[in-house]
Amino acid sequence: MRLPWLASEISQLILRYESEWSGNMGRWKAITPLMRHARQNWECEVQRIHKLQWWNEVKGKVAGFPDSPVVYHIHPIALVGNFSSPCKCINYDAILVKRAAPAYRDSQIVTHSHYRLSIDTKPGRLAGNSRRAGDASKQVQMQVIDILVEKARAHRLSREDIAMVLAMTRHESGFNPDAAAGTTSASGLGQFVDQTATAYGIRTDEQRFDAEQGAEAMVEHYLENKRLAQNGGAKGRNLFIDIYAYHHDGPSLAYGGRQISESSVMPWFDTIVANICADIAD
């Protein structure tokens, strides 16, 4: 589906209807007149469906097996997700942003900024309260952190890498997926300007502020900046300092990224390392 929030909502529905494995073929044959040019292919498909039906052969012969083919259909992974709780590996209260960044004045907002765009508040979507960094509810911030950790694990990042991804995202957007700068085109979890966002497949406003897509781009960009830092000879703590510097400055390292990294990002790296479990990357 094109709308992630809608797909998520639908996946959690529990539907009750006749199983495809039952013997009533009328519902399938009723579709035949609608097939037009694909009628012959559809008739072959109807025959295939009929051959796969086995319900009537089993009912009454297996203890506990229902006689009626009208059963509940669930998405097991989504069902389990309904009862899932936040990651127990993280002390969220030590990491969350408690106070949002100040709002931009009208005179500060440039024409290519995404700051004035309205926020998509559809049900099920992770949304901020405004475009200000950190202006998202505790629940939204916690879910964003979980998504970032999930993406980082998928890319096999280490515990320290995960901590740095979280520290950088906290500094950039305050875990608000709808954050946007007023003075540039920077937006989303990683505050990517338009050119950088495009490199990671982010081209529309929906993509720009989508938590899942933003988290994936953040992790991929982190890996690219880590490669640049390693190629530049950075090691130990300096490696992490330079990773954010590349995120902020780009390859030139000419816009104060190292200073910002040391003064504003690395203290949160240290805090996060102290508040995530040792096996968070496993």
Residue 241 CA to residue 245 CA, distance in Å, equals 6
Is residue 264 in a domain?
yes
Q: What is the average per-residue pLDDT within 247-276?
A: 98
133 and 219 belong to one structural domain: yes
Task: Using pLDDT thresholds of 50, 70 and 90, give the confidence band for residue 161.
Answer: very high
Q: Write b or e for each residue in 33-63: b if 16 or more Cβ atoms lie within 10 A of its Cβ, otherwise e.
A: eeeeeeeeebeeebeeeeeebebeeeeeeee
pLDDT value of residue 1: 46
| Residue 259 CB contacts under 8 Å (≥ 6 apart), including other chains | none
157 and 62 belong to one structural domain: no
Q: Is residue 96 within 8 Å of 175, Cβ to Cβ?
A: yes
Domain boundary among 79, 99, 116: 79
59 and 112 belong to one structural domain: no
pLDDT value of residue 42: 85
- Return the CATH number at 269: 1.10.530
261 and 218 belong to one structural domain: yes
Domain range for 15 is 4-79
Half-sphere exposure of residue 17: CA atoms within 13 angstroms, side-chain side: 7
Q: Write b or e for each residue in 258-280: b if 16 or more Cβ atoms lie within 10 A of its Cβ, otherwise e.
A: bebbeeebbebbebbeebbeeeb
120 and 178 belong to one structural domain: yes
Q: At what angle are helices 159-173 and 266-273 packed, to 10 degrees?
A: 130
Tokens representing 193?
A: 């300007």
Does the reported pTM lie above 0.75? Answer: no
Is residue 228 in a domain?
yes
Is pLDDT above 90 for 145?
yes
120 and 217 belong to one structural domain: yes
| Residue 112 CB contacts under 8 Å (≥ 6 apart), including other chains | 184, 185, 194
Percent of the chain with pLDDT over 70: 87
Is residue 282 in a domain?
no
95 and 204 belong to one structural domain: yes
121 and 252 belong to one structural domain: yes
Domain boundary among 33, 60, 79: 79
Question: How many folded domains does the chain comprise?
Answer: 2
62 and 193 belong to one structural domain: no
DSSP 3-state assignment of 80?
helix
Is residue 279 in a domain?
no
Domain boundary among 46, 79, 112: 79
Q: Is residue 228 within 8 Å of 234, Cβ to Cβ?
A: no
pLDDT value of residue 8: 55
pLDDT value of residue 3: 47
Is residue 67 in a domain?
yes
168 and 265 belong to one structural domain: yes
Is residue 260 in a domain?
yes
Residue 210 CA to residue 147 CA, distance in Å, equals 11
Q: What is the average per-residue pLDDT within 144-163?
A: 98
pLDDT value of residue 82: 57
pLDDT value of residue 62: 79
66 and 198 belong to one structural domain: no
Q: How confident is the model over 39-98, as pLDDT tens digits?
A: 888 888 888 888 878 777 787 777 777 777 776 666 665 555 555 555 568 999 999 999
Q: Is residue 155 within 8 Å of 281, Cβ to Cβ?
A: no
